[in-house]
Amino acid sequence: MEEPDTQRAQDLLAYIDASPSPWHAVANAAAQLEGRGYRRLAEDEPWQLEPGGAYYVVRDDSSLIAFRIGKGALTRGGFRIVGAHTDSPGFRVKPNAAHAKGPLTALGVEIYGGPILASFADRDLTLAGRVMVRDDSAPGGLGSRLVHFDRPLVRLPNLAIHMNREVNKEGLKFDYQDQLPLFLAALSEELPPEERFRGLLAEQAGVAADDLRSWGLAVADTQPGAFWGPEGEFIADSQLDNLASCHAALAALPDEGPEAGVAVAALFDHEEVGSESYKGASGNFLESVLARIGSGLGLDGDQYRSVLASSWLVSADMAHAYHPSWPRHHDDQHQVEVNQGPVIKVNAAQRYASDELGQAYFARLCEQAGVPHQSYIHRNDLPCGSTIGPMMAARLGLRTVDVGNPMWAMHSVRESAGAEDQGALIEVLKGFYAEAVIGS
């Protein structure tokens, strides 16, 4: 394996391990962008944009849009946008989470998106996310703190096979309401469950328990990412879907201003639950940022529309690699393989946005980058998943192609993929952003 490919995969695993929740994924992206000279803009303040400038905007701590403006006129090149999502399926801790369950203190959780529930059993889980706290120095008296218990804290133990003899034939099933509460601690007589949990959270957040107001907490794995295989040719980690695409978009963003056009990386929360939210891809976040870039650079309405019409969106989300132990779950002619390059996702019903123009465009980008590419079609007899591409294409009137790197076990708490594909995708996306330079 070539050195740069390993390094890209290593960087990805480090990013994921530092980002146990979408809030952390955005905080780490923001820190990286700051280090690269991108300046933060606030949505509730006026913007002063300059040609050649690089900026980023965060909405509600878990969606982020970064952009670098070309030195020349925006009418040439248009927007070159990579879209991805910061969230992953799993669990979210309920508001009144802590309760007595037999001899234990348990935490009630909601199911977030479509996780493979059984993959969370018997793992060394923890909690990470954002808590809202009383903060008299902050607007409205409310501040937010990131929290991450950097050690195993909660657990979803299996039932012994002696009491669940059919588990290997029937699969591991949980009752969504009664069997998902996570074990936290033994029940204590002195400290009621809710008080115990709030105390833990407040301590982690560095505030008094009385100042803790509310929380958005994801259940996260504590096992670091790993290379596996004799040559380390594969990787495993949580949240590859879709922090791998977020990482690729950020890594590909240019560090120098293009001649023309605007390079944009748009990372959204809430894709796994449908994107219909304040900060989701179906909301107005990207639309608002693009319009403000347009007006900030002095475009009138007609010019702005023409720039949008010359723009492209590459919607990057992971793809299903061929699983040779389940050959009948794949279309025979569209078996995509890990370490064989990015995948162009096609669906006639527009669950993926790639039309023939998008397919040809992305294939050309791959060829220019010297990277192989593959095409994916979901079987006709299985319902196809979707992603942010179609809704963003529709909402913004953007030419769009849906792509992503191949992976196994999508929505498991421990997903796996090829170590070489991350570097390949980054090279292709760099070429995509460079298209704004030549104003194709």
Contact footprint for Co ion (CB under 5 A): 241-242, 317
Query: Using CB atoms within 10 A of its CB, is residue 395 exposed (0-12), middle (13-18) or buried (19+)?
Result: middle
Q: Which of 16, 216, 187 is nearest to 103 (CA)?
A: 187
CA distance 264 to 22: 19
Decide if 22 contacts 86 (C-beta within 8 A). Answer: yes
Closest approach, Cβ 189 to Co ion, in A, equals: 45
Q: What is the number of residues in the chain?
A: 440
- State which residue, 90 or 143, has the beta carbon closest to Co ion: 90
- State which residue, 21 or 105, has the beta carbon closest to Co ion: 21
Closest approach, Cβ 318 to Co ion, in A, equals: 5
- State which residue, 85 or 99, has the beta carbon closest to Co ion: 85
- State which residue, 115 or 296, has the beta carbon closest to Co ion: 115
- State which residue, 6 or 242, has the beta carbon closest to Co ion: 242
Closest approach, Cβ 17 to Co ion, in A, equals: 19
- State which residue, 87 or 420, has the beta carbon closest to Co ion: 87
Q: Which pairs with CB-CB distance under 8 Å and at least 24 residues apart come from 190-197? A: 193/98, 193/99, 193/100, 193/105, 193/106, 194/96, 194/98, 194/99, 196/98, 196/105, 197/97, 197/98, 197/105, 197/107
Closest approach, Cβ 243 to Co ion, in A, equals: 10
- State which residue, 68 or 378, has the beta carbon closest to Co ion: 378
Closest approach, Cβ 72 to Co ion, in A, equals: 35
Cross-strand partners of 112: 90
Closest approach, Cβ 388 to Co ion, in A, equals: 9
Closest approach, Cβ 343 to Co ion, in A, equals: 13
To 5 degrees, how large is the angle CA 149–CA 150–CA 151? 95
Closest approach, Cβ 146 to Co ion, in A, equals: 23
- State which residue, 68 or 345, has the beta carbon closest to Co ion: 345
The amino acid at residue 273 is V
Rg for the chain (alpha carbons), in Å? Answer: 22
- State which residue, 64 or 184, has the beta carbon closest to Co ion: 64
Closest approach, Cβ 387 to Co ion, in A, equals: 6
